[in-house]
Structure 1
Amino acid sequence: MQSSDPLALQDSASEDFPDGGKGAWAVVIGACLALFASAGMGTFQDYYEATLLSESSSSTVAFIGSLQIFFLYAVGTLTGRVFDAYGTKYLIPAGTVITVFALMMVSLSEKNEPYQVFLSHGVLFGIGIALLFNPAIAVLGHWFRKRRALAIGLTTGGSASGGVLLPIILEKLIPIVGFGWAVRIVGFILLACLLVSCVTIRTRLPLSGNLSFRTAIDLGGFRDPRYSLAAIGAFLLFYGFFIPYFYIKIYADFRGVPPGIAKYLLAIMNAANIPSRILPGYIADKTGPLKVFVPAAAICSVLLLGLWLPSRNSASIVAFAALYGLFSGAFVSLLPTYIATISPREKLGARLGAMYLVVASASLVGTPTGGALLKTIDEAHFRNLIIFCGALSAAGTLVMAMAGMVGSESLRRHLPWGRRPGEQASKINHF
């Protein structure tokens, strides 16, 4: 009898996934270090606004970060296909070179010359980390099956840890050695991390060896209503996802939070991200990714509208930063986990690529939209920004819940278009 387990349909019974061991955990360590480099823009945002690009508007500086995030996810549509064909053999070394070179160019940027920062940080650095991000996630599917969500959570925790450490490193180094050398030192730190990634990350399962950019984006996933709803939900969620990360310090300054506290708010958010990218993965391996994803997104909606919106003092703002960081981290680790559970293994890279293109589009316009809503830093404009962000989060949560309902056994049994040809109702409840 044909198996009704979607993962069993993806991976033939002859494939024995290690789900642990030295080789598998070495890949996790390398992937974690690769994603450590992706915590880029938030580290530099404050310095750009206050010093390097002091004549540029907040929305202009935010657009640099949007470009980086856009390229991170958009180039993932291509790296996913390259990974399916050749694995990580070329992608990780190329990403290492481009990422480090981009930081060296950032260190040479001149004061109030935004085009230099746009090109080096927004474009080049974004492309570099894109060559690392998608392959570092996708390669885990070669080594983990039952513990895949945990492995992805541990890996994406590397990005969050970078967001904690890099701002502190720059904060301490800039007064001592200046911005240029501070960025170069960070570049050398990332070089050391990425050299380890080049050695430890490797594929295990057979690769196609065929590369056709015509199939770089696998649109076939949109025939599955679960995938389509997940794409809509991801667009809505990621449209507003980064807004608190970019504007929390500006809000804290507006509310009179002491500088000694305000400057560490981003580090607090990223520190809280670490457990929220690991623990949800562990739980999701047992319950299904959407049973963790949807409640986390719902809590973020409540935090945005119920805590950030009325916050007026240091305690409430710090509480929001910590709690939003704690629950929003699940978005990053559980979205690819969910896509992995509903995609054939041989198309996983391309399916992730198509999903990341959706996320890229949302991320590109998200923070500049926030900047446009915050033309003037006052009560009314901040209220509009926070309500806008909260409404997007609530709408995205609802759509992701609908994806879980479509994926449930009881509904799929009655919806032929919810099952693949010849597939019986799934025993795994994705919601």
Structure 2
Amino acid sequence: MVVSTERHCHVKPPSGLLNFIFKLHRRIVSFPSDETAKQAPESVLQPVTSVGNSSLVDPSDAPDFPERGFTAWGTVLGAFLIQFCGFGYTSAYGVFQDFYTQTYLTNSTPSAIAWIGSVNGFLILSLGLVSGRMVDRGAFYPMMKIGCLLQCLFLFMLSLAKPGGYYQIFLSQGIGCGIAIGLTNVPSFAIVSHHFQRRRAVTMAIVSAGASLGSILHPVMLNNLINGRLGFANGVRASAGLNSGLLLIANLLMRTRLPPQPQAVSYTRVLQNSSRDGAYICTCVGLAAFEVGFFFIAIYLQLDSTLHGLGQGFSFYSLTTLHSGSFIGRLTGGVVSAYVGIPNTFVGSSLISSAVIFAMVGLHSVVSVVVIAVSYGFFSGGVVAMISPLVSCLTPEISHIGARIGIALAISSIGSLLGAPICGAFLTSHYIWWKPAIFAGSVATGGTIMFVFMQVILKIRRKTSSVCSKEAGV
């Protein structure tokens, strides 16, 4: 039977198979779980260096994962608050883009101002390479403490920036806050995998919804504080004080459960395995392209609404409308994925949200803003909510989850870095809105095509694995 398996499934010679079984035994001793045991029969059919698809494994509840309890759900709540204060605050940058363009940085072009938000987003995502590795090594608590302290510090420093002080704002908000939030972003997702396995997609969607709720409330607060009686300095200080209190609560709630890895996860090994995983590569490239469209609408929607004469009062709530749809979409994505699967949810959401970006060409009324904001927010929220669960599904070893999420987000950060400034260059100081809309929509559609390739690869892999299992008598 072994000979037949090698002929049809291209398994390594018996010596390599024995070596793999020995390594598999060591993994079972270190992390005893039903999921690992269930992966064994399927993984034996593959070379040890190949990248399997854990989504093919029956995701039944493993006894080592509590799936419930105050500590587990307290960790989810703490991670939710980290996202609320971190990426949720960053997603409200459209408020600053509008305020800087028309009031505070009038000597700078929209493209130059957009670099502040894009660099911020780039650092948040790219620093996942560092923070994800540190989580795998057991340095979760130091990363969270340092990141939260720096975030509070740089927000208060932002309040000291003067009108026309572009580089003061760029250094504090673009670079400083980007580094601080980047240190906490990936760990807040990775820590959930310590407590949940069967409900991991749902709990990660809840954590992701924290960013959406922050994106809903922060624009309302910032618009009323900055453009109200308090002004820019005191308004930013007030928001910094709120975030400081919530970040303190988050640090008190979150707890690790799994012991650190006895040896540091080698990024060289992870990259080598990832480079042979076509589905993972397509996902990373697609995310980089999709981020271009995501940040175009998130950063320019309020400015677009204001310049079309739709009223300052309504424009202030355009981002809130967008992120309200995203909040519902992220929660819905976690539920829908339990029935149709994470890859199907991911591809469907990205396809529809990419199409909605083109609708920005026709934005001219209150109704059009509401329709675009709600529909794009809902479906793009489904994409964002499924990023971490999808990467987790594509990761065959649980010890590599943090590293793989960090790599994927680092690659996607290229889109967040370049997307908004390039769209601003297409926009020009004459505000020609159809050009950046077509550009962003086209690039995001290209990302969706890569997600479709990812799904095709997963289906081929599932079919091949099924055939090999039958031939091996598993």
TM-score computed with the length of structure 1 as normaliser: 0.90
Q: Which residue matches 2:85?
A: 37
Are 2:222 and 1:170 aligned?
Answer: yes
**Aligned-partner Cα distance in 1 for 2:141–2:269:** 18
Are 2:432 and 1:384 aligned?
Answer: no
Post-superposition offset of 1:211? 4.7
Q: 1:146 aligns with which of 188, 193, 198?
A: 198
Are 2:74 and 1:26 aligned?
Answer: yes
Is the Cα–Cα contact under 8 Å of residues 217 and 354 in structure 1 kept in the other structure?
no
Residue-pair matches, total: 416
Q: Which residue matches 2:24?
A: none
**Aligned-partner Cα distance in 2 for 1:295–1:12:** 25
Are 2:65 and 1:17 aligned?
Answer: yes
Is the Cα–Cα contact under 8 Å of residues 201 and 386 in structure 2 kept in the other structure?
yes
Letter in 1 for 2:280: Y
Are 2:385 and 1:337 aligned?
Answer: no
Is the Cα–Cα contact under 8 Å of residues 360 and 434 in structure 2 kept in the other structure?
no
Go from structure 1 to structure 2 and tell me whether the alpha carbon gap of 1:144 and 1:243 turns closer, same or farther (over 3 Å shift).
Answer: same
Are 2:308 and 1:255 aligned?
Answer: yes
Letter in 2 for 1:321: A
Alpha-carbon RMSD: 2.5
Deviations 1:296-354 (A, max 9, x none): 1111122222x322233221122111111111112221111100011121011111111
**Aligned-partner Cα distance in 1 for 2:56–2:194:** 14
Q: Which residue matches 2:276?
A: 223
Is the Cα–Cα contact under 8 Å of residues 94 and 302 in structure 2 kept in the other structure?
no
Go from structure 1 to structure 2 and tell me whether the alpha carbon gap of 1:208 and 1:136 turns closer, same or farther (over 3 Å shift).
Answer: same
Letter in 2 for 1:265: S
Q: Which residue matches 1:399?
A: 450
* Higher mean displacement: 63-72 or 225-234: 225-234
Post-superposition offset of 1:249? 2.0
Post-superposition offset of 1:8? 8.8
Is the Cα–Cα contact under 8 Å of residues 271 and 325 in structure 1 kept in the other structure?
yes
**Aligned-partner Cα distance in 2 for 1:314–1:84:** 47
Q: Which residue matches 1:429?
A: none
**Aligned-partner Cα distance in 1 for 2:57–2:370:** 46
Post-superposition offset of 1:376? 3.7
Q: Helix, strand or coil for the counterpart of 2:229?
A: helix
Q: Which residue matches 1:55?
A: 107
**Aligned-partner Cα distance in 2 for 1:21–1:8:** 28
**Aligned-partner Cα distance in 2 for 1:19–1:71:** 32
1:417-428 equivalences under 5 Å are 424=469
Go from structure 1 to structure 2 and tell me whether the alpha carbon gap of 1:212 and 1:3 turns closer, same or farther (over 3 Å shift).
Answer: closer
Letter in 2 for 1:239: V
**Aligned-partner Cα distance in 1 for 2:240–2:289:** 33
Q: 2:207 aligns with which of 140, 146, 155?
A: 155
**Aligned-partner Cα distance in 2 for 1:243–1:58:** 12
Q: Which residue matches 2:254?
A: 201
Letter in 2 for 1:25: W
**Aligned-partner Cα distance in 2 for 1:423–1:198:** 47
1:1-400 equivalences under 5 Å are 2-4=40-42, 6=54, 16-38=64-86, 39-40=89-90, 41-174=93-226, 175-208=228-261, 210-211=263-264, 218-305=271-358, 307-343=359-395, 344-378=397-431, 381-400=432-451
Post-superposition offset of 1:396? 1.2
Q: Helix, strand or coil for the counterpart of 1:110?
A: coil
Is the Cα–Cα contact under 8 Å of residues 97 and 300 in structure 2 kept in the other structure?
no
Post-superposition offset of 1:72? 0.0
Is the Cα–Cα contact under 8 Å of residues 326 and 377 in structure 2 kept in the other structure?
yes
Go from structure 1 to structure 2 and tell me whether the alpha carbon gap of 1:97 and 1:240 turns closer, same or farther (over 3 Å shift).
Answer: same
Post-superposition offset of 1:210? 4.5
Go from structure 1 to structure 2 and tell me whether the alpha carbon gap of 1:376 and 1:108 turns closer, same or farther (over 3 Å shift).
Answer: closer
**Aligned-partner Cα distance in 2 for 1:402–1:207:** 35
Q: Helix, strand or coil for the counterpart of 2:352?
A: helix
Letter in 1 for 2:243: L
Letter in 2 for 1:320: I
* Higher mean displacement: 100-109 or 214-223: 214-223
- Point out the structure with max Rg over C-alpha: 2
Is the Cα–Cα contact under 8 Å of residues 277 and 330 in structure 1 kept in the other structure?
yes
**Aligned-partner Cα distance in 2 for 1:16–1:213:** 25
Deviations 1:132-157 (A, max 9, x none): 11000111111111111111111111
Is the Cα–Cα contact under 8 Å of residues 88 and 202 in structure 1 kept in the other structure?
no
Deviations 1:213-233 (A, max 9, x none): 865974531211110111111
Post-superposition offset of 1:252? 1.7
Post-superposition offset of 1:359? 1.0
Q: Percent identity?
A: 28
TM-score computed with the length of structure 2 as normaliser: 0.82
Is the Cα–Cα contact under 8 Å of residues 120 and 174 in structure 2 kept in the other structure?
yes
**Aligned-partner Cα distance in 2 for 1:10–1:68:** 39
Deviations 1:123-181 (A, max 9, x none): 11001111111000111111111111111111111111111111212222232222111
**Aligned-partner Cα distance in 2 for 1:10–1:209:** 28
Letter in 2 for 1:245: A
